[in-house]
Structure 1
Amino acid sequence: MAEDTSRKRKVRGRKIRGDREQKKRRRARKELARKASRNGNHDEAGTAATSESTGDEGGGHLESPETVAPEPFVETDAVESLRERITGWLAADQPVHLIGPTGCGKTALALSAAAARGRPVVHINGDEAVDTATLVGTYAGGERYEERDEFVSGVSKKTQIVRDRWVDNPLSAAVREGATLVYNEFSRSDPAAHNVLLSVFEEGVLERPGKRGRDRTIDVHPEFRAILTSNDAEYAGVHRQQDALLDRVVGVHVGHYDAETEREIVRTHVDVADTRDDAEPSDSGDPNNDERGALDPEAIGTVVETTRTLREELPFVVGTRAAITAANGIAVFGTQAGAESAQQQTDGGQVSLDDELLADVFTDVLGPKLAGTEIDDVSTLRERITDTL
């Protein structure tokens, strides 16, 4: 009885207020860093954000390690072990290919490993529209110059010169400046677009098709590294890449984390209740959180346990991202249920958690995954979730 009362009481306190303020400060710092990067500031390694030596443009692709480092980021033993494998292979000058199911945290892991190197980072996303020019660069219009010759007194001669303007794209910027390339959803791009990577990984030279003259190639900076991420081969929209390229990378398989890590990941993405008896009311005044409560560790554990059980029972991937989304939904809908019973609706209110609420929330979260599965409709999905609970 005492535990039930503690779980359903008003969840406010100094810890909630502190967590929210820390999140705001982190977001503000990252936004400032992004603005500085867009304005062409120099990165930590001392490389300029534009390629002045060649007149090419492309420095806007470079980001500082502090900007791309994921926040919040959980660092349990399991996560640290995976990241050490990635950074170890990078130190051995090997491109790393992270492979695993959707929602298991591949992108966050890749960005964290890239940030740990302390080098500038170039982050791109793959899709069907990506081709060689998208990666390397292309000519984008022309630049017109006018020269005046007044060598002979009283005679003025004008000459107009039109020069094609080349614009570097992410891969060119990364190899030139020694950045860490994070190529997310790598296998969603057409394999033909990745032919340029063969010479980069093998000979240390980037060929820029379409570029004319002596600048057609770029020598790869010795600090350049690449981290690729892909879903498993059976996912829709995934292309099998050429064996010649896969033979030049090492594959690190990323699965779903252990229960402890998943609980910690969910905890960092939701407001956590201060369950101490001396907790003080929060008066943060944040209008965006008026209808969101906080979850105590027991509720977070229930969400994660439900996610892990459904992962085994349902015919599609139920990732950690689904647990985060469900927890945030419960923080809203559970607060509303608690407020109705208490005749009030306030910031950080009561969170009421039961099987019916869990079934409703997980049905909404997992409903979009039904297409092409053995589950006919949403009502059948809810029945399966209810049976599992």
Structure 2
Amino acid sequence: MADHSSRERKVRGRKIRSDRSSKEGRRAKKDLARKASKARETNGDTALADPGEVAPEPFVETDAVDTLRGRITGWLEADQPVHLIGPTGCGKTALALSAAAERGRPVVWLNGDESVDTAALVGDHAGGERYREDDRFVSGVSKQTEIVRERWVDNPLSVAVREGATLVYNEFSRSDPSAHNVLLSVLEEGVLERPGKRGEDRSIDVHPEFRAILTSNDVEYAGVHRQQDALLDRFVGVHVDYYDAETERKIVRSHVDLADEDVETIVEATRTLRGDLDVVVGTRAAITAAKGLAVFGGSDEADVFDDGVLEEVFTDVLSPKIAGEGADGVDELRSKIAGAL
């Protein structure tokens, strides 16, 4: 009778090797899935923010603010992208976020600068995931298969148009105009082309609820680019200027725990300096100065004018705007502030 024991050992050995190879393949697939999941968490699609989460706090409600926000939301209802233009520190960003939150749709945030290009808007390949499978099912034959999967990551514009979100594009005019060519097809044809993306999903049909709010400083500010007329023609421009004195007082008061008379002093000084100085003195500067006054002196201390406290506070707040001019520039700024106050 033939001895089958050696044959059984060989068969059993092949089966064990096959099971091991199968387990290794499954383990590799699980590792790939874990890596892909981790990559999504780290570099994944731009997060859709809940409108309640982006609503600015605190946000002052006055007739002037409500009227301006009503114009923005009205144009959005008319399916028009809105471009908020105005001086720095006047509250454009807070106004844009408040109007976006009022729509009740998800919000996608994008901050413009020189590094923003088309890929930063629409998306790009974020590398590949690869693993190797060894197939030893047939005795004496080893088959290795290397699998590489490219991963595409959608960036803010793609996410917003696909999900019907409100895109808040802050500092829009600080980005290179060539990056914004993709916006033309979005606003004119309702289609977003994604360069670099292959296959049937190269383009995205724009969701009917997609809207855009863009903010820009006036063209005379440093680092601001003139955008192409073909694109600007498709926006509605809403000019945002500094608010009236009462609104500014309420804004400052909402940010700083300071006596009413000190808030009034700060706002009056801010509005005076705004008219007398060559640098921009926005509402943001008034808030910062109020915080400084709360630390360095207030209504319970000696007179802020006689002690020069207000002069020193505003010099500290505004001196970054003349960075590079040295001590002489700061002394000149301090002298102008003292004269204006």
- Report the TM range for the smaller structure's normalisation: 0.7 to 0.9
* Correspondence for 2:317: 365
- Matched with 1:326 is 289
1:351 and 1:110 mapped to 2: Cα distance?
A: 39
Question: Is 1:236 aligned to residue 222 of structure 2?
Answer: yes
Partner of 2:153: helix, strand, or coil?
Answer: strand
Q: Deviations along 1:21-70, whole A, 9 cap, x unmatched?
A: xxxxxxxxxxxxxxxxxxxxxxxxxxxxxxxxxxxx84442111111110
Secondary structure at 2:115's aligned position in 1?
A: coil
- In 2, the alpha carbon distance for the partners of 1:248 and 1:133 equals 22
* Distance in 2, Cα, partners of 1:107 & 1:64: 17
Q: For 2:277 and 2:283, how far apart are their aligned partners in 1?
A: 15
State the distance in 2 between where 1:144 and 1:94 align. 44
Q: CA deviation at 1:380?
A: 1.7
Cα deviation code 1:71-125 (max 9, x no counterpart) = 0000100000010000000000100000000000000000000011111111111
Q: Deviations over 1:250-303 (max 9, x none)?
A: 0000000000000000000001xxxxxxxxxxxxxxxxxxxxxxx211110010
From 278, 283, 304, the counterpart of 2:267? 304
Match of 2:13 in 1: none
2: CA distance between counterparts of 1:326 and 1:353?
16
Deviations 1:332-372 (A, max 9, x none): 0016xx8xxxxxxxxxxx45442111111011111122259
- Structure 1 partner of 2:173: 187
For structure 2, list consecutive stretches of 5 or more residues without a partner in the other structure: 1-42
- In 1, distance between residues paired with 2:98 and 2:313? 30
Aligned partners of 1:195, 1:60: CA distance in 2, in Å? 20
Q: Which position in structure 1 is the counterpart of 2:337?
A: 385
Q: Does 1:97 align with 2:83?
A: yes
SS of the counterpart of 1:317? coil
Provide the residue aligned with 2:304 in structure 1: 354
Q: Is the 8 A contact 1:178 1:221 kept in 2?
A: yes
Quick check: 1:140–1:165 contact (8 Å CA) kept in 2?
Answer: yes
Q: Does structure 2 retain, via aligned residues, the 8 Å contact 1:149–1:158?
A: yes
- RMSD of aligned residue pairs (Cα, Å): 2.4
In the TM superposition, what whole-angstrom CA distance separates every residue of 1:6-30 from its partner, at most 9, and x where no partner exists? xxxxxxxxxxxxxxxxxxxxxxxxx
**CA offsets 1:164-198 (integer angstroms, 9 cap, x no match):** 11111111111111110000000000000000111
Q: Is the 8 A contact 1:61 1:169 kept in 2?
A: no
CA distance in 1, matches of 2:112, 2:219: 15
What is the match of residue 70 of structure 2?
84
Q: Distance in 2 between matches of 1:87 and 1:226?
A: 11
Structure 1 segments (4+ residues) deviating >3 Å: 57-60, 145-158, 350-353
- Cα separation, partners in 2 of 1:214 and 1:145, compared to 1, 3 Å: farther
* Bigger share in helix: 2
Shift of 1:200: 0.6
- Separation of aligned partners in 2, 1:208 and 1:221: 15
Percent identity for Structure 1 against Structure 2: 75
Q: CA deviation at 1:144?
A: 2.2
For residue 250 of structure 2, what is the amino acid of its counterpart? E
Which residue is equivalent to 2:231? Answer: 245
Match of 1:306, SS state, is helix
What are the within-5 Å matches in structure 2 for residues 21-60 of structure 1?
Answer: 58-60=44-46
- Highest CA radius of gyration, 1 or 2? 2
| 1:183-229 superposed Cα distances (whole Å, 9 cap, x missing partner) | 00000000000001111111111100011111110111111100000
Alpha-carbon distance in structure 2 between the residues aligned to 1:125 and 1:86? 19
Unmatched segments (≥5 aa) in structure 1: 1-56, 272-294, 339-349
The SS at the match of 1:139 is strand
TM-score (norm 2): 0.82
Contact 1:331 1:351 in 2 (8 A): no
Query: Is the 1:104–1:254 Cα contact (8 Å) retained in structure 2?
Result: yes
CA contact (8 A) 1:58 1:170 kept: no
Aligned to 2:39: none
Q: Tell me the TM-score normalised to structure 1 length.
A: 0.72
Per-residue deviation, 1:156: 7.4
Number of aligned residue pairs: give it.
Answer: 298
- After TM superposition, list the pairs within 5 Å mapping 1:1-389 onto structure 2: 58-144=44-130, 157-271=143-257, 295-334=258-297, 350-355=300-305, 356-370=308-322, 377-389=329-341
Measure the CA separation in 2 of the matches of 1:77 and 1:139. Answer: 47
Pair 300,119 (structure 1): closer, same or farther in 2 beyond 3 Å: same
Question: Matched residues in 2 for 1:59 and 1:210: separation?
Answer: 16
Q: Secondary structure at the match of 1:235?
A: coil
Q: What's the secondary structure of 2:297's corresponding residue?
A: helix
